[in-house]
Structure 1
Amino acid sequence: MITTKLATIAVLATVAAAAPTTAAPTTTEVRPFKFSQWVDDIINPDVEALTPEQAVEAYYQSVNATTSTQTGGTKAKRFSVQCYTSEYTRAEVNPAAMCVSSLAALGNGVTYSWSGYAKSVTLCNDIPNVELVAVSGTDGPKVATAQQLAIGGGHIMDACTWGGRTGGLAFEDFNPDIQIYLRRQI
């Protein structure tokens, strides 16, 4: 009888020693894809950035892999971005990504200038169905680099991409008198 009790105690001790003492985390955090970070990657010469097609695919993968944990209140959005809701104004995501990518790749050496209230410069005319427009909100000369405008486009895409389309307007920190529009070609 003592041998049976000792054998049972030995088996229980072996099972208890083999059991893990803490649970290992089994979930990994999926971070949403940010177009603005992608623009920063294009600008950074030390980083190999995704192509526009890869960026759009990464965006869709992150959207499909994340779930909303919003329990009420308001979502955090950039205060300086307003999104378009009309499908006639919103551009398709792929051409918009190509536009933003091409501007970011031009670098800070490429500048655009214009002068006067409500005057503008329209970019990405060579890409069908999308345009990025910079408009002055006040009189006087305005100057913006291609990278600054690309960053604005990335912020618009972060806040305003859904349903395969994107578009809106942004006021950027480099010059709040300049409005950046990313939209379907009109």
Structure 2
Amino acid sequence: MITYRFLTLASLALALPLAAAAPTVSEALEIREVFSFEKWVDSIIANPDTALSPEQAIEAWTASTNGTSSEALSKRAASCVGMADQAYVPDAIICINTLASLGSQACVANAVAVFWTHGRAQVVGVAGPVAYVSTTCQKVAETAGKIMDQCTSGQFTGGQLSNVADNRMAVHLRLPS
């Protein structure tokens, strides 16, 4: 009888830490990170040779948002545009990738400037309250990435946000006009 109790207590002592270490389903969902287009742009800037391609970025975003609650995706700092003005995600990713790849090249908004257009997506800079603002194309790409992080639903995205480097320039991601 003593041996039986000892074995039972010993097996319980071993099982408790294992049970406590296993995450629940809800904890596992909370741990899963949603793909960030802004972080993707940062990886392009840091090392274009090891960054995800535009196609891989789409796959990573799709995989990370499947099953993610809309609450986790709904935190907004950008002003998102309506469906009629939204850009197509794969084309927006090409625009952002291209701008990020331009490095420290200047993206200048003299009132309004179209920085890049591809298919059904366009990245535009709007200067204000001054008439002329210059920043790097990488910073424009980072801002467009933030817009995508906050304003993408399904295959469409679009919005506007102050440039991460200079808030005198608003960056717009939208369907070409």
Q: Please give the range of the TM-score, normalised by the shorter of the 2 chains.
A: 0.7 to 0.9
Match among 112, 130, 139 for residue 121 of structure 2: 130
The residue type paired with residue 81 of structure 2 is Y
Residue 65 of structure 1 deviates from its aligned partner by: 4.2
How far residue 58 of structure 1 moved from its aligned partner, in angstroms, is 1.1
Offset at residue 12 of structure 1 (A): 2.6
Contact 2:48–2:101 (CA<8 Å) still a contact in 1?
no
171 and 69 in structure 1: CA distance in 2 versus 1, 3 angstrom threshold: closer
Q: Which of the residues 10, 18, 21 maps onto 1:17?
A: 10
SS, match of residue 99 in structure 1: helix
Distance 1:157 1:114 in 2: 21
Equivalent position of 1:105 in the other structure: 101
Q: For structure 1, which segment, 159-168 or 136-145, has the greater mean C-alpha deviation from structure 2 after superposition?
A: 136-145
Q: Deviations over 1:11-41 (max 9, x none)?
A: 2311221231322223431011111111111
| Greater mean alpha carbon deviation, residues 42-51 or residues 13-22 | 42-51
Q: What secondary structure is seen at the aligned counterpart in 1 of 2:85?
A: coil
Q: Size of the alignment, in residue pairs?
A: 167
Distance in 1, Cα, partners of 2:121 & 2:48: 29
The partner residue of 2:55 within 46, 49, 53 is: 53
Query: How far did residue 111 of structure 1 move?
Result: 0.9
Provide the TM-score with structure 1 as the length reference: 0.80
Q: Could you say which structure has the higher helix fraction?
A: 2
Give RMSD over aligned pairs. Answer: 2.1
Q: Could you tell me how far 1:52 is from its partner in structure 2?
A: 1.2
Deviations 1:44-89 (A, max 9, x none): 128821111111111111111433567xxxx5432xx10012x221
Whether contact under 8 Å (2:130, 2:168) holds in the other structure is no
d(CA) in 2 for partners of 1:167 and 1:140? 24
Matches within 5 A, 1:11-160: 11-19=4-12, 20-22=15-17, 23-27=20-24, 28=28, 29-45=31-47, 48-67=50-69, 76-78=75-77, 81-85=78-82, 87-108=83-104, 110-115=105-110, 119-125=111-117, 127-160=118-151
Question: Which protein is bigger by CA-based radius of gyration?
Answer: 1
Deviations 1:131-172 (A, max 9, x none): 101111234432121101101101110110012210001112
Q: Any idea what SS the aligned residue of 1:48 has?
A: coil
Query: 1:112 & 1:76 partners in 2: Cα distance?
Result: 28
Q: Secondary structure at the match of 1:88?
A: helix
1:30–1:65 contact (8 Å) kept in structure 2: no
- Residue 180 of structure 1: SS of its match in structure 2? strand
